[in-house]
């Protein structure tokens, strides 16, 4: 049996069978049965993963981030936390 995914290829194979089978029969020394040509659709691809869901940040969480930013003794860490709070505020559509 020969399997293909389209009728066009199946037709081409049917026409090419004599050219394909005769050399094999001579090489093997016996007559081969005529192969079946089967058309099978391609496998269905796996569905892709859904896009990641955006997390909504509450106003209370933004306030907690801003308060935490003021508590750090390291100014770089406090600035990073402030930027995070500002980004969350902008995503919420709030003006500062």
pTM of this structure: 0.43
Residue 51 lies in a domain: no
| pLDDT tens string 11-62 | 998 998 888 888 888 888 888 888 888 898 877 777 888 888 878 888 899 8
Residue 50 lies in a domain: no
Residue 48 lies in a domain: no
Q: Which structural domain, as residue segments, surrounds residue 86?
A: 59-92
Residue 19 lies in a domain: yes
The residue behind tokens 């859904």 is 50
Same domain, 6 and 35: yes
- Please list, in sequence order, all residues whose beta carbon lies within 8 angstroms of the beta carbon of residue 35, skipping any fewer than 6 positions away: 1, 2, 17, 21
Residue 76 lies in a domain: yes
Residue 31 lies in a domain: yes
Residue 68 lies in a domain: yes
| pLDDT tens string 5-16 | 889 999 998 998
Structural domain total, the chain: 2
Instruction: Enumerate helices (H) and strands (E) in the chain, giving the number of each.
Output: 3, 2
């Amino acid at each position: 049996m020969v399997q293909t995914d389209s009728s066009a290829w199946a037709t081409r194979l049917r026409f090419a069978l004599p050219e394909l089978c005769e050399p094999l029969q001579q090489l093997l020394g016996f007559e081969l049965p005529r192969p079946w040509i089967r058309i099978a659709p391609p496998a269905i691809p796996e569905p892709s993963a859904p896009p990641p869901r955006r997390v909504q940040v509450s106003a209370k969480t933004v306030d907690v981030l801003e308060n935490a930013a003021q508590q750090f003794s390291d100014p770089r860490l406090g600035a990073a936390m402030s930027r995070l709070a500002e980004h969350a505020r902008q995503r919420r559509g709030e003006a500062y």
